[in-house]
């Protein structure tokens, strides 16, 4: 009686759906679902066979709405065990939805599936194969592979089709089973049933992806069969059973083309066999509907991937050109993306065919759809060559002016890079680079600024004069419009500081040069080439400093430029005004600006001869000359490339102006410093040119330009990072005593002199140099280690011997190791000191833990766990102590074997307890560290 009552009150699926849809709020829906779920659970417990089917139906609908339905898994298994087809169908559907291959309950299904695969009813066999193909685990695949293999040879096409689809899942889960199905799948290619052919080709495609030997065997036997099938589909008349919008079985055609693409890739023999049919498909397929476009798209991909004839590749490019004229944005997007991919390895014939569609591609740059514009932009760079560089650059500059802010930086970098590759002359490249910086505005990144500076420094004297005057007068004449473009201001200020004497005393400003790109300046060209006076230059820099667009970075550049101008200008009132201007910033609220103003003021008090030697112009660097030699050849000159035209990866953490390396490139090997130490001569180079062991004062300050473009390590591409490590006596002025600074000079000039105080060298700290110091600060903290004291020297001490460099060379050199700050928080400071071992095949890292005594208590339970990439091997020694008293320290040593010489990156899990007045505070941190120098393993 209870079962009868339960059956009578059971809600049908339709009624439950109606009740759920009638709810007005999510709370009401959840209430209905909760009520139905509770009723279904109760019904399952009563083992009512009459309501099980209905309850599982409702449960699956509840599951599809996103609510939990796991309690119905066993009921699905019970339905599968039923003899009724309707029960089995619903049960298998529930298994596919509620179970996955990782659940142990799945083992109970294996027997049911095996029994149903041997059932005489082909519909039940299909249900079992479909379920196995969706949820098979590796164990199930091995247990049931023999049954699936047998069904591949079934006399029923429906069963063969389902078995082939199931086999796809099995070979994915267990690739070792591939050999069991290869011969059967190949034989299915002779089948006349389109469904069997479709699934057999899908299985063979998966096999080719897993094992390349399968493709090799198919090339010998199956290519003619596939070509015949494709030809029959192309030339066949109307077939109601397979017709889709006037095309015979487009799904099978696409599958055949995909398999032909795999077989023809890298095989001339197979490609020759399919060239004719591909041409036929490309010519005869109607592209007026999406069905035809799908086949044409697959045909194009196949032509581009195989070893096809040049005429066939041109035909493929023309098909994509027709796609570009389609009104459907999806088809245009596909065409642009495909053309970009194929252009990465394009042949000359393909390139000329692509040029025919240049106007259409450039029109896409103005499309209202942002995705179309971006894809057209990528493709536009592949159109550039020496004959059309001027035209395409104008189009790209027009796009840059209206481009979204988030892509302006990358677009500007790519335009500058390609302008250098295909430039007709150098003045045109300079004009284009300036126009790029004006169009990109504040979005100009460090790579564009670096490129501009390298371009000007490698130019002739006439071009340097032309460049510095043009930049200066742009700022002077355009006012706020130009000053709001920070990248342009930075390059201008750097050039004014470096070539200030040329600016005020040059010739005609390069008006005799030809080949420029001054469309926007033709009318007033003479205004942009006017030679200013020294007072005018100082006034313009002063006005920028006082203006609203003077960011901290711009102020840092201008202060450095003013210091350089004291070695280039001769007018005494102007020099006095520069000194007074620098003196104003000795009390600036920004500690960097304050420090540099103090240091530069000291420099300006030197005699003219010494100051001129210190502030000599930057020499042309070897790395810049190498890039310059490739300009105009069409070859990549830098790492800034467009997608698809990637260059060889640069050296890890390479410095664009690695001046020390360039300087030593001509020195015999015997005179170079050994690994792990330095000679006295190289210590001098470290002092003058900013080596890794440049000496600084005891209390160091961050490097100039700390905010430049996001900040980075001194290994980054830094164009002006030339000089470092020139320190001055802390006794120079009271301001310097009040704010002791590390005075490493990094000005980008050719000469320098070390000035140290013995007392300031008894204890030194380590600070990484700033990577993006684009102007090259005059004084900056460099990385140091504790060293033995050296004799005191000062340019301001008249008692110092003239043999300054002799005393430097006679000083004993002490091998030092560079420490990298890794962590500093809650009074705990951790530094990592690496040491190169076995010629770079291994490094030893000493981790030093220091209790700074911030909270006045000890730091206990220090746990320092390190993980490295799989290519590295790590061995750690126990720490010297896990408890660190106030002002105390502890160390832990680890060794990393690096046989592949790959970049070393650490993931550190740090745990410790800080004792303070509030009790013990537990701290857990995850730290990612990868700032080691590439020289440790290269």
| Per-position DSSP letters for 209-226, written without gaps between them | HH-HHHHHHHHHHTHHHH
Neighbours of 546 (CB within 10 A): 7
pLDDT score for 114: 93
Say what the alpha-carbon torsion angle 109, 115, 121, 125 is, to the nearest 10 degrees. Answer: 50
Give dist(CA 288, CA 11) in Å, integer.
Answer: 51
Instruction: Say yes or no to pLDDT of 551 above 70.
Output: yes
The sign of the CA dihedral 726, 729, 730, 735 is negative
786-812 pLDDT per residue, tens:
333 333 333 333 333 333 333 333 334
Buried (b) or exposed (e) across 164-191, using 16+ Cβ within 10 A? Answer: bbbbbbbbbbbeebbebbbebbbebbeb
- Helix/strand/coil for 712: coil
pTM over 0.85: no
Whether 739 contacts 594, CB under 8 Å = yes
> Using an 8 Å Cβ cutoff, are 135 and 99 in contact?
yes
pLDDT at 775 over 80: no
- pLDDT tens digits along 563-590: 999 888 888 899 999 999 999 899 888 9
Burial of 63 (0-12, 13-18, 19+ CB in 10 A): middle
Which range scores top for mean pLDDT: 118-132, 761-775, 846-860? 118-132
| Statement: residue 684 has pLDDT above 50 | no
Distances (CA, A) of 598 to 581, 697, 729, 875: 11, 14, 12, 47
Q: What pLDDT does 18 receive? A: 93
pLDDT tens digits along 423-432: 999 999 999 9
* Nearest CA-CA partner of 316 in 292, 282, 340: 282
pLDDT of 441: 84
Q: Report which of 264, 335, 327 is spatially closest to residue 297, judged by C-alpha positions.
A: 335
Region 647-668 average pLDDT:
36
**Per-residue pLDDT band at 400 (split at 50, 70, 90):** very high
3-class secondary structure, 525:
helix
As a whole number of angstroms, the distance between CA 556 and CA 846 comes to 36
**CB neighbourhood size of 1 (10 A):** 5
Nearest to 491 by CA among 437, 449, 540, 542: 449
With pLDDT > 90 as the criterion, what percentage of the chain qualifies?
45
pLDDT in tens, 699-708: 333 333 333 3
Q: What is the DSSP letter of 11?
A: P
Classify residue 370 as exposed, middle or buried by CB count within 10 Å of its CB (0-12, 13-18, 19+).
exposed
Sheet with 906-916, strands from edge to edge, namely 859-867, 906-916, 919-929
Half-sphere exposure of 247 (CA within 13 A, CB side): 22
Confidence of residue 710 (pLDDT cuts 50, 70, 90): very low
Is the pLDDT score of 351 beyond 80? no
Instruction: Report which of residues 716 and 215 the model is more confident about.
Output: 215
Structure tokens at 163: 């078995």
Could you tell me the maximum CA-CA distance found in the chain, to the nearest angstrom?
Answer: 118
Of the pLDDT bands very low, low, confident and very high (cuts 50, 70, 90), residue 512 is low
Q: Within 13 Å of residue 470, how many CA atoms lie on the same side as its CB? A: 26
pLDDT at site 354:
86
What was the pLDDT predicted at 918? Answer: 59
Residues 6+ apart with CB under 8 A from 669: none
Q: What is the pLDDT of residues 202-247, one digit of tens each?
A: 999 999 999 989 999 999 889 999 999 999 998 877 778 888 988 9
| Beta carbons within 8 Å of 149's beta carbon, 6+ residues apart | 167, 180, 181, 184
Task: Assign 25 a pLDDT band (cuts: 50, 70, 90).
Answer: very high
Helix 310-324 and helix 348-355, axial crossing angle in degrees, nearest 10: 30
Q: What is the 3-state secondary structure (H, E, C) of 73-85?
A: HHHHHHHHCCCCH
Closest CA to 148 of 135, 139, 761, 161: 161
Query: What burial letters (b/e) apply to 879-896, b meaning 16+ CB within 10 Å?
Result: beebbbeeeeebebbbeb
- Name residue, tokens 């029923």: 156
Unique residue bearing structure tokens 């970098």: 413
The mean-pLDDT minimum among 95-99, 190-194, 196-200, 522-526 falls in: 522-526
Three-state secondary structure call for residue 187 = helix
**266-322 per-position pLDDT tens digit:** 899 999 999 999 999 999 898 888 999 999 999 999 999 999 888 999 999 999 999
Question: Would you place residue 530 in the very low, low, confident or very high pLDDT band (cuts 50, 70, 90)?
Answer: confident
Q: Are 403 and 411 in contact (CB under 8 A)?
A: yes
Asked whether 903 and 875 are in contact (CB, 8 A), the reply is no
pLDDT of residue 507: 64
Question: What pLDDT is stored for residue 508 in this prediction?
Answer: 61
Instruction: Report the SS3 class of residue 244.
Output: strand
The Cα–Cα gap between 783 and 765 comes to: 8
- DSSP output for 31-71: HHHHHHHHHHHHHHHTT-HHHHHHHHHHHHHHHHTT---GG
* CA 908 to each of CA 679, 830, 832, 842, 895: distance values in angstroms, whole numbers, following the listed order: 35, 11, 12, 19, 15
- Residue 288, classified by CB atoms within 10 Å of its CB into exposed (0-12), middle (13-18) or buried (19+), is exposed
Consecutive H or E run containing 566:
none
pLDDT value at position 131?
Answer: 94
pLDDT of residue 510: 53
Q: Is the pLDDT of residue 458 over 80?
A: yes
Count of other CB atoms within 10 angstroms of residue 561 = 22
- Computed over every residue of the chain, the mean pLDDT equals 78
pLDDT of 888 reads 87
């Amino acid at each position: 009686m209870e079962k009868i009552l339960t059956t009578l009150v059971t809600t049908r699926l339709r009624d439950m759906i109606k009740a759920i849809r009638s709810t007005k709020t999510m709370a009401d829906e959840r209430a209905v679902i909760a009520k139905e779920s509770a009723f279904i659970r109760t019904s399952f417990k009563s083992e009512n066979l009459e309501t099980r089917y209905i309850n599982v139906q409702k449960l699956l609908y509840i599951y599809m709405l996103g609510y939990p339905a796991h309690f119905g898994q066993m009921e699905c298994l019970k339905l599968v065990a039923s003899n009724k087809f309707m029960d089995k169908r619903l049960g298998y559907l529930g298994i596919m939805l509620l179970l996955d291959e990782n659940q142990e309950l799945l083992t109970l299904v294996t027997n049911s599936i095996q029994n149903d695969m041997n059932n005489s009813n082909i519909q039940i066999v299909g249900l079992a194969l479909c379920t196995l193909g969706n949820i098979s685990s590796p164990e199930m695949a091995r247990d049931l592979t023999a049954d699936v293999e047998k069904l591949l040879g079934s006399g029923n096409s429906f069963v063969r089709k389902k078995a082939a689809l199931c086999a796809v899942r099995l070979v994915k889960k267990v690739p070792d089973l591939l050999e069991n199905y290869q011969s059967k799948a190949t034989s299915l290619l002779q089948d006349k049933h389109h469904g069997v052919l479709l699934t057999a080709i899908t299985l063979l495609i998966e096999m080719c992806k897993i094992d390349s030997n399968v493709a090799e065997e198919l090339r010998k036997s199956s290519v003619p069969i596939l070509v015949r099938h494709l030809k029959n589909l192309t030339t066949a008349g109307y077939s109601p059973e397979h017709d889709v919008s006037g095309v015979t079985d487009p799904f099978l055609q696409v599958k055949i083309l995909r398999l032909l693409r795999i077989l023809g890739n890298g095989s001339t023999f197979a490609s020759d066999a399919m060239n004719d049919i591909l041409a036929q498909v490309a010519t005869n397929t109607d592209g007026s509907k999406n069905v035809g476009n799908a086949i044409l798209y697959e045909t194009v991909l196949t032509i581009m991937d195989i070893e096809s004839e040049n005429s066939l590749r041109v035909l493929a490019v023309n098909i994509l050109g027709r796609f570009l004229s389609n009104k459907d944005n999806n088809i245009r997007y596909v065409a642009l993306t495909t053309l970009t991919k194929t252009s990465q390895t394009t042949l000359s014939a393909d390139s000329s065919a692509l040029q025919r569609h240049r106007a259409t591609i450039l029109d896409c740059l103005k499309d209202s759809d942002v995705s179309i514009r971006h894809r057209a932009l990528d493709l536009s760079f592949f159109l550039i060559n020496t004959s059309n560089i001027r035209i395409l650059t104008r189009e790209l500059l027009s796009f840059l002016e209206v481009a979204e802010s988030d892509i302006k930086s990358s677009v500007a970098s790519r335009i500058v890079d390609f302008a250098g590759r295909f430039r007709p002359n150098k003045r045109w490249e300079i004009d284009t680079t300036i126009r790029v910086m004006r169009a990109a505005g504040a979005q100009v990144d460090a790579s564009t600024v670096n490129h501009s500076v390298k371009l000007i420094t490698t130019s002739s004297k006439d071009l340097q004069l032309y460049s510095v005057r043009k930049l200066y007068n742009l700022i002077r004449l355009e006012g706020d419009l130009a000053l709001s473009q920070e990248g342009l201001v930075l390059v201008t200020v750097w050039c004014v500081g470096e070539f200030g004497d040329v600016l005020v005393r040059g010739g005609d400003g390069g008006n005799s040069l030809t080949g420029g790109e001054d469309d926007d300046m033709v009318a007033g060209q003479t205004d942009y080439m006017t030679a200013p006076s020294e007072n005018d230059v100082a006034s313009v820099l002063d006005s920028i400093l006082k203006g609203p667009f003077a960011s901290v970075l711009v102020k840092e550049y201008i202060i450095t430029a003013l210091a350089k101008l004291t070695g280039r200008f001769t007018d005494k009132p102007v020099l006095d005004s520069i000194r007074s201007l620098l003196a104003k910033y000795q009390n600036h609220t920004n500690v960097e600006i304050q420090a540099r103003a103090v240091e530069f003021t000291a420099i300006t008090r030197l005699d003219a001869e010494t100051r001129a030697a210190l502030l000599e112009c930057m020499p042309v660097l070897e790395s810049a000359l190498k890039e310059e030699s490739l300009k105009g050849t069409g070859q990549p000159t830098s790492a800034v490339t467009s997608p698809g035209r990637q260059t060889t990866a640069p050296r890890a953490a390479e410095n664009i102006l690695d001046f020390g390396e360039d300087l030593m490139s001509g020195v015999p090997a015997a005179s170079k410093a050994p690994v792990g130490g330095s000679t006295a001569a190289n210590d001098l180079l470290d002092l003058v040119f900013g080596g890794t062991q440049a000496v600084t004062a005891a209390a160091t300050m961050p490097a100039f330009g700390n905010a430049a473009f996001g900040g980075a390590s001194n290994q980054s591409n830094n164009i002006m990072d030339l000089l470092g490590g020139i320190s001055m006596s802390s006794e120079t002025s009271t301001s310097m005593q009040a704010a002791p600074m590390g005075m490493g000079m990094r000005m980008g000039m050719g000469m320098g002199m070390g000035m140290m105080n013995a007392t300031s060298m008894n204890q030194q700290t380590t600070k990484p140099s700033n990577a993006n110091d684009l102007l090259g600060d005059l004084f900056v903290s460099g990385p140091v280690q504790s060293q033995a004291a050296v004799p005191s020297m000062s340019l301001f001490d008249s008692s110092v011997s003239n043999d300054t460099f002799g005393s430097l060379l006679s000083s004993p050199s002490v091998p030092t190791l560079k420490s990298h700050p890794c962590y500093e928080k809650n009074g705990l400071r951790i530094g990592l000191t690496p040491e190169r071992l076995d010629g770079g095949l291994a490094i030893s890292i000493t981790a030093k833990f220091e209790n700074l005594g911030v909270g006045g208590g000890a730091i206990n339970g220090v746990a320092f766990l390190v993980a490295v990439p799989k290519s590295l091997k790590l061995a750690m020694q126990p720490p010297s102590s896990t408890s660190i008293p106030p002002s105390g320290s502890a160390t832990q040593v680890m060794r990393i074997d690096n046989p592949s010489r790959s970049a070393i990156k650490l993931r550190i899990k740090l745990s410790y307890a800080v004792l303070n007045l509030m009790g013990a505070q537990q701290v857990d941190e995850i730290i990612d560290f990868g700032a080691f120098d590439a020289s440790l393993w290269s």
